[in-house]
Chain A
Amino acid sequence: MSSGGADKPGSGGGAVKTPSDFLKSIRGRPVVVKLNSGVDYRGILACLDGYMNIAMEQTEEYVNGQLKNKYGDAFIRGNNVLYISTTKRTLADGA
C-alpha cells in the first residue's frame, strides 16, 4: 500500500480508520464503486491497490439505478473512482 499519511486520533475520540485500513477491511466483501461519471458498479471486491485500481467479481453496472450490464470479472482503473462503498444497506432505498 502506498498510503503515507500519519494520522493521530482527533479530539472526537472515535477510532481512526485511514484509507489504507479501509482497503484492507473490504477485500472479499460486496461493494458499490461509483465512478466520476456517476455510474455504479456493484459486486464482490477481489483485489485493489493504493491507487484505487479495483478487480471485482460478479460485477453489475447500474446507470441511474437501472441495471445495464453484467460483467463477471471486471477491472476498474483507479483514476475513475469517486468512492468505494460497503453495502450493508441496499442502495436502491436511496437512489
Chain B
Amino acid sequence: MSQNNPSQLLPSELIDRCIGSKIWVIMKGDKELVGTLCGFDVYVNMVLEDVTEYEYTAEGRRITKLDQILLNGNNIAILVPGGSPPDV
C-alpha cells in the first residue's frame, strides 16, 4: 500500500540524513559506539570520526577513544541519530 508514496522514507535515507552528525550505534552483544558519521555503503559499513567505544563487561564499562574507524556493518543492531548511552 505504501508503494509510490512520495513521503515514504527509505531506511538508507534516514541514515543519509545523519551524515555530518553524531550517531549512536548499538551493536549485537554488549558494545556501543558514538561518533560523527562520515559515510556508509549498501551494507551499512560506516566511516565514523571522533569515536567513543563503550564495552559493557562484568567489571563495568570500558571506554575507548578512536580517531577514525571503518565499522563493519555485519553486527550493527540499532542506529540512533543524535543519541548517546546513558552515563550510568
Q: In the complex, A82 Cα to B46 Cα: how many Å?
A: 11
Say yes or no: A14 contacts B38, CB within 8 Å. yes
Say yes or no: B38 contacts A10, CB within 8 Å. no
> In the complex, how many residue pairs between chain A and chain B have their CB atoms under 8 Å apart?
106
A residues 48-95 near B (Cβ < 8 Å) are: 52, 78-79, 81-89, 91, 93-95
For the complex, is B67 an interface residue (Cβ under 8 Å from A)?
yes
Q: In the complex, A62 Cα to B84 Cα: how many Å?
A: 28
Residues of chain B whose beta carbon lies under 8 Å from any beta carbon of chain A: 16-21, 27, 36, 38-43, 45-47, 51, 53, 55, 62-72, 74-75
Q: In the complex, A91 Cα to B39 Cα: how many Å?
A: 23
Say yes or no: B18 contacts A10, CB within 8 Å. yes
Q: Do A23 and B64 contact each other (CB < 8 Å), given the known contacts A4-B42, A16-B39, A18-B47?
A: no
Distance in Å: Cβ of B44 to nearest Cβ of chain A: 9
Q: Do A18 and B41 contact each other (CB < 8 Å), given the known contacts A83-B71, A94-B65, A95-B64?
A: yes
